[in-house]
Structure 1
Amino acid sequence: MLTYLATALPRFTSPAARLLALQCALRADALGHLRVPHGLLRGMRLYGCRELWQELAQAHWLDLPDLKSAPVEVQLRDATLLDQVPGRRTRRHAAHWALHPAPLALPATAPPAMRLTALVLAAHTCAHDHRGVDMDILARLCGHSPQQTADMLDQLVRIRTLSTWRCNRDSNEVFWQLQPQAPTRPAALPRRDRTPQR
């Protein structure tokens, strides 16, 4: 879906508009219609951002919805989207995962550009596959220039989502390592009353 959006939307569509488009694409029915609850928009920190809807409408990707309605009724205009999406249940799972792209953990206040970059990295992260991703492809999926993408990767290292990243100058491939997560301990069980029974 990220590859589809990278080709369907203008190259420098904002990261926030790309995140919104991704959720719309994954939540739409077979006719390209969906209802977007205000709570979802608030959770994505995109509530009240009329300019994002206008950006997608100007790209002829959707019809500009009435943002005062609750939920927001959206009609997608791109017919090719409907031909390539998997089943609705699979798309709903993907829409939820896109909001919390494990294994990359981000603070809830992360800006859209950082969230989109983390989502793209998470989609290309596999526990047993350490192949790189071409920087130009990574930048296109993130809607950035390669320099902006490098800056985003640096920021992900600074906030400790990634432990490191590098770009192989010969192959132009980007490699990254996730920040090791602290092992979670099971919750302590309450102690039983040790008073002897009589």
Structure 2
Amino acid sequence: MKEMLSYLAAALPARTSAPARLLALQCALRSTASGRVQLPAGLLAGMRTTAEARAQLEDTGWMVSGTSGPGLDARLADPVLLARAPGRRARCRSAEWALQVCRAPALRTTTPSSQLLALTLAAQLPQGDLHTLTDRGALAYVSNLDAGQLQEHLDLLLASGFLRCWSFDRRSGDLSWSVDAGAIPARAGT
């Protein structure tokens, strides 16, 4: 998951919104080996995906949509993604885990930007741990937030109950945090 989030941070323009990035993540993880992806309307509605998010991915050339119906039928246009993606079964498990994280009770009323940050934080945690640290600049880059926005969204995640605490060490540039024990679903085989 960390690698896929990092890939998307590099592959998508900085102007790409958080909802479009979350949609791109699901597309990348659920695509076939040839880059075809079909997402049902119910999944898109559950993710609160907008037509604008779809249009952003099409405008960047990252995705070519095949239909304009309620579901998504598209082809991913990035050959780098297709060459480096792990097996489809593992990617589908990762896609489900990402949805579970974003749908966690503590995140249900948060913005897509906060959900993307929460998912990025969750992906950083070693399996079974509730506390870790990472480079603040790298976290901001993958989450598509500047330093001020990062602090704001960390505070929002703290207020929502997703995070128990967070701190920044100015000398090292490291950000440390702890999540609530029930905030992140187990990663079944991912």
Return the TM-score normalized by structure 2: 0.87
The residue number in structure 2 matching 1:113 is 113
Structure 2: which amino acid aligns with 1:115?
Answer: Q
Q: 3-state SS of the aligned residue for 1:152?
A: helix
In 1: Cα distance, 2:56 partner to 2:38 partner? 19
**CA deviation digits over 1:106-161, x for unaligned, max 9?**
34333211111110000011234854211111011111112111111000001111
1:156 alignment partner in structure 2: 157
1:178 matched to 2:179: yes
Q: Name the aligned partner's letter for residue 90 of structure 2.
A: T
Aligned in 2, Cα 1:108/1:65: closer, same or farther, shift over 3 Å?
A: farther
Q: 1:129 to 1:161 in 2, by over 3 A?
A: closer
Residue 195 (structure 1) aligns with:
none
- Structure exhibiting the larger radius of gyration computed from Cα positions: 1
Which is worse superposed, 70-79 or 164-173? 70-79
Partner Cα distance (1:52, 1:65) in 2: 15
Partner residue in 2 for 1:143: 144
Amino-acid identity (%): 38
Listed one character per residue, the Cα deviations across residues 66-91 of structure 1 (whole Å, up to 9, x for unaligned) are 232x5321111001000111000000
> Does the Cα contact within 8 Å between 1:163 and 1:180 map onto a contact in 2?
no
2:161·2:180 contact (CA, 8 Å) conserved in 1? yes
Contact preservation (8 Å) 1:26, 1:91: yes
Taking the aligned partners of 2:108 and 2:131, their CA distance within structure 1 comes to: 27
Unaligned runs of 5+ in 2: 184-190
Query: Is residue 50–residue 67 contact of structure 1 (8 Å, CA) maintained in 2?
Result: no
Q: 1:16 and 2:22 equivalent?
A: no
Letter in 2 for 1:83: A
Are the structure 2 counterparts of residues 181 and 63 from structure 1 closer, same or farther at C-alpha, using a change threshold of 3 Å? closer
Aligned partners of 1:43, 1:94: CA distance in 2, in Å? 17
Residue 10 of structure 2 corresponds to 7
SS of corresponding position for 1:177 = strand
**Counterpart of 1:132?**
133
Aligned residue for 1:96?
96
TM-score between the two structures when normalised by the length of structure 1: 0.83
Instruction: Tell me whether 1:123 sits opposite 2:123 in the alignment.
Output: yes
Counterpart amino acid of 1:100?
Answer: Q
Deviations 1:14-51 (A, max 9, x none): 111100000000000011001110000011111xx111
The residue number in structure 2 matching 1:193 is none
Query: 3-state DSSP class of the match of 2:176?
Result: strand
SS of equivalent residue, structure 1 residue 63 = strand
Deviation at 1:180, TM superposition (A): 4.2
Gap regions ≥5 residues in structure 1: 183-198
| Matches of 1:110 and 1:65, distance apart in 2 | 31
Number of corresponding residues: 178
Superposition RMSD in Å: 1.9
8 A contact 2:131–2:176 mirrored in 1? yes
Instruction: State the alpha-carbon separation in 1 of the partners of residues 130 and 114 from structure 2.
Output: 23
